[in-house]
Amino acid sequence: MDLDVFVTAHRTEWDRLDQLLGRGRRLTGAEADELVALYQRTATHLSLIQSSAPDPMLTARLTQLVARARATVTGTRRASWRDAAAFLTTGFPAAVYRTRHWWVPTAVVSTVVAVLIGWWIGTHPEVQSAIGAPGELRAMTRPGGQYETYYSSHPAASFAAQVWTNNARAAALCLVLGAFLGLPVLAVLFANMLNVGIGIGLMSSAGRLDVFLGLILPHGLLELTAVFVAAGTGLRLGWTLVDPGPKTRRAALAEQGRAAVGMAVGLALVLFLSGLIEGFVTPSGLPTWTRIAIGIAAELAFLLYVYVLGGRASRAGETGDVAEADRTASVPTAA
């Protein structure tokens, strides 16, 4: 496409659209119809330029023009409590449900890896000596040691906030790094499983595995599930780069990316709940079985939320993507 000829042929239409958008008064019916037609044509022009002869300055001008026209044609839309409720009852659970074929295997494999690491450390004293000196390991695993006092080392509220921030960061990293073919996600996931495996191995070698599980299960079930969901979603995002399916790679990645951003918000709320459990329940004086029961109840509630609400929303066509009206048009709508 000859860009100079194209610009010469359509500059008048773009200038006219800019003129209509700059009117300080209400448009007449004929002017409104003209604005809609020019908006559609300009959107088509922008699409053609981006695909055939990308020019940064011209693309920037037309992008701004199309955005202004779209806002005028469709009106300004503000987020409301209804949008938040729809996100929590349909969008987020549907997105998690639709990625279950990624995060469920991720959870199973990761758990097996953590258990194997724990078994390896717990049954090989030479590995334990490589982790720390005997005195340091005893200080970590003895009654009242570091593993037990960790959860009560800070005031519950500040500890819960710190845990939530760290876990939300890890989940966000898994989601964002998925765009790099998912490889960094595996590194983040392995680091988390390594920490869990070390705890299992050291506490089991000291004969206190029951204490360790009593400390980690109340909050760890929900916390690790959120991390597995984030990791599975990140891996799916990375696979979209390899196999976008029937859509173009750009469109498929955009759809998965928008859903992933929404999931980051939802998972932050899930991790906030697990942080509260870790800050207030795990170090509490409640019996071990009560603390574990609370953790199991929170985990079951999340799974029911995903499989019941999310499954129903997914079967109704919900994908977790933003509303169609809020997406950038991916194909020309008029000539």
* Dihedral angle sign, alpha carbons of residues 206, 207, 209, 212: negative
Average pLDDT over residues 25-43: 85
Tell me the percentage of the chain whose pLDDT exceeds 90.
32
pLDDT band at residue 325 under the 50/70/90 scheme: very low
Q: What is the pLDDT of residue 113?
A: 96
This prediction's pTM: 0.71
Beta-carbon contacts of 121 under 8 Å, excluding residues fewer than 6 positions away, are 127, 128, 131, 197, 198, 200, 201, 202, 205
CB 93 within 8 A of CB 313: yes
Q: How many CB atoms lie within 10 A of CB 60?
A: 10
Q: Does residue 126 register a pLDDT over 70?
A: yes
Q: Got the DSSP string for 267-298?
A: HHHHHHHHHHIIIIITTSSS-HHHHHHHHHHH
Residue keyed to tokens 């990761």: 110
The rounded distance, in Å, linking the Cα atoms of 117 and 119 is 5
Q: How many CB atoms lie within 10 A of CB 113?
A: 16
Average pLDDT over residues 15-37: 82
Out of 58-67, 218-227, 285-294, pick the least confident: 58-67
Tokens of 210: 């029951």
The rounded distance, in Å, linking the Cα atoms of 212 and 205 is 12
**Domain regions of the chain by residue span:** 3-74, 82-325
**pLDDT (tens digit per residue) in 265-298:** 899 899 999 989 988 898 888 999 999 999 999 9
Q: Cα–Cα–Cα angle for 106, 107, 112, nearest 5°?
A: 100
3-state secondary structure of 75: coil
Q: Does residue 323 register a pLDDT over 60?
A: no
Greatest distance between any 2 Cα atoms in the chain: 85
Average pLDDT over residues 107-119: 95
- The rounded mean pLDDT for the chain is 84
pLDDT band at residue 237 under the 50/70/90 scheme: confident
Q: Does residue 248 register a pLDDT over 70?
A: yes
